[in-house]
Amino acid sequence: MKPYIFITRKLPDEAVEGLRGNYEVSMWVKEEMPVPRERLLEEATKADALLTMLSDRIDEEVFNVGKNLKVVANLAVGFDNIDVPAAARRGIAVCNTPDVLTDTTADLTFALLMAAARRIVEAADLIKEDKWKSWSPLLLAGQDIHHKTIGIVGMGKIGAAVAKRATGFDMAILYHNRSRNMEVEEAIGAQYVSFDELIAESDFVVCMTPLTEQTRGMFTRDVFRKMKKTAIFVNAARGPVVDEEALYDALAEGEIAGAGLDVFDKEPISASHPLLKLKNVTAIPHIGSSSIETRMTMMKLCADNISLVLSGKEPKTIVNKDWKN
């Protein structure tokens, strides 16, 4: 009997054609909706491998029923949706898709920063709603980006790629990280500062930190109050690092000038979400790595990792390096 692979979201045929010849493959076909929990658990009972999304909670319950599971390949860099220690205890490999989406996500992050600063969405809506009546000196005037100070919270590979893009705008680059990134400091002159110093001095505060117990809820009302009133806050990392009620209050009361958001605490959000009622919020639906080229590469990497593990080989990108112990 061929090993069985369940894919929790509809993927293009070309992304999984390499799996179909050697394995039995099934996938959830409702493209815009996550697989129901009941179906996930049902599939896990017979699966040798799962190809999962960030929206799928892969926890003890899944591992308890997944007696045949050997690998979980997550279509993302992050893996906070997976109980990695529980997988390691059972000898299950957890794989992710690092590196391949670094530049694509950095492109989107900087685009979001620019859109929020220059009020691009507001301007586009003005025309579409037939409200552009004449030219005026301060019509939808935004903020300059060049020669400003960008503060990056989380100087991993994506944060470093965002910093590199900031050099093209002659920006001063501050960053805060768990440890200093000497390579970035030497390559582009980024300056390591405390978190408090970064939020007080930056014109653009860009969150690129992973979601951990330490970073969850780190952007509080007190943090927003310490930012410049002209500051733009950009989050292209994880929604739960931000207290959204605090962000709403800070934006509504003018404590900061605006926000560009690709992620939210609970996703997806509806049009009734309070943050979407604010004109100084530029919001997009978690599309940081969503270019055709990058997403196809991510899918292929997941498929390759599954094939390698099911063939008894080491995967290309492993999260829990102790999975065989």
What are the boundaries of each domain within the chain? 4-99+292-310, 102-283
- What pLDDT is recorded for position 50? 98
Q: How far from 74 is each of 9, 45, 84, CA to CA, in Å?
A: 11, 18, 11
- What pLDDT is recorded for position 98? 94
Q: Is the pLDDT of residue 99 over 80?
A: yes
- What pLDDT is recorded for position 92? 97
Q: Is the pLDDT of residue 5 over 60?
A: yes
**CATH number at 4-99+292-310:** 3.40.50.720
pLDDT (average), residues 228-244: 97
- What pLDDT is recorded for position 21? 84
List Cβ neighbours of 114 (8 Å cut-off, separation of 6 or more): 120, 145
Q: 24 with 46: CB under 8 angstroms?
A: no
pLDDT digits (tens, 9 = 90+) for 274-317: 999 999 999 999 999 999 999 999 999 999 999 999 999 999 99
Catalytic one of 238, 244, 255, 295: 238
| Average pLDDT along the chain | 96
pLDDT digits (tens, 9 = 90+) for 147-194: 999 999 999 999 999 999 999 999 999 999 999 999 999 999 999 999
DSSP letters spanning 234-260: EE-S-GGGB-HHHHHHHHHTTSSSEEE
Q: Is the pLDDT of residue 32 over 90?
A: no
- What pLDDT is recorded for position 325? 57
Catalytic one of 183, 245, 267, 314: 267
Q: Is the pLDDT of residue 228 over 80?
A: yes
| 3-class DSSP assignment, residue 145 | coil
- What pLDDT is recorded for position 292? 96
**Distance separating alpha carbons of residues 75 and 82, to the nearest angstrom:** 12
Same CATH fold, 102-283 and 4-99+292-310?
yes
Q: How far from 16 is each of 20, 112, 124, CA to CA, in Å?
A: 7, 32, 38
Burial class (CB within 10 angstroms; exposed 0-12, middle 13-18, buried 19+) of 174: buried
Clarify whether 267 is annotated catalytic. Answer: yes
- Which class in CATH covers the domain with range 102-283? alpha beta
| Percent residues over pLDDT 70 in the chain | 99
Q: How far from 229 is each of 153, 205, 226, 267, CA to CA, in Å?
A: 19, 12, 9, 28
Q: 226 with 202: CB under 8 angstroms?
A: no
Q: Is the pLDDT of residue 8 over 90?
A: yes
- What pLDDT is recorded for position 46? 96
Clarify whether 176 is annotated catalytic. Answer: no
| 3-class DSSP assignment, residue 114 | helix
Catalytic one of 9, 119, 176, 286: 286
Q: Is the pLDDT of residue 53 over 90?
A: yes
- What pLDDT is recorded for position 239? 96
Clarify whether 238 is annotated catalytic. Answer: yes
Q: Cα 255 to the chain's mean position, in Å?
A: 26
Q: 53 with 77: CB under 8 angstroms?
A: no
Cα atoms found within 13 Å of the Cα of residue 222, Cβ hemisphere only? 4
What angle, 0 to 180 degrees and rounded to 10, lies between the N-to-C axes of helices 102-118 and 157-167? Answer: 50
**Distance separating alpha carbons of residues 218 and 265, to the nearest angstrom:** 13
Q: Token digits for 235?
A: 């989050």
**Distance separating alpha carbons of residues 224 and 254, to the nearest angstrom:** 10
| Percent residues over pLDDT 90 in the chain | 94
- What pLDDT is recorded for position 33? 85
Q: Is the pLDDT of residue 62 over 80?
A: yes
**Distance separating alpha carbons of residues 224 and 114, to the nearest angstrom:** 20
CA torsion, points 250, 214, 94, 62, in degrees to nearest 10?
-80
Q: How far from 304 is each of 14, 49, 297, 299, 314, CA to CA, in Å?
A: 13, 12, 10, 9, 11
- What pLDDT is recorded for position 323? 85
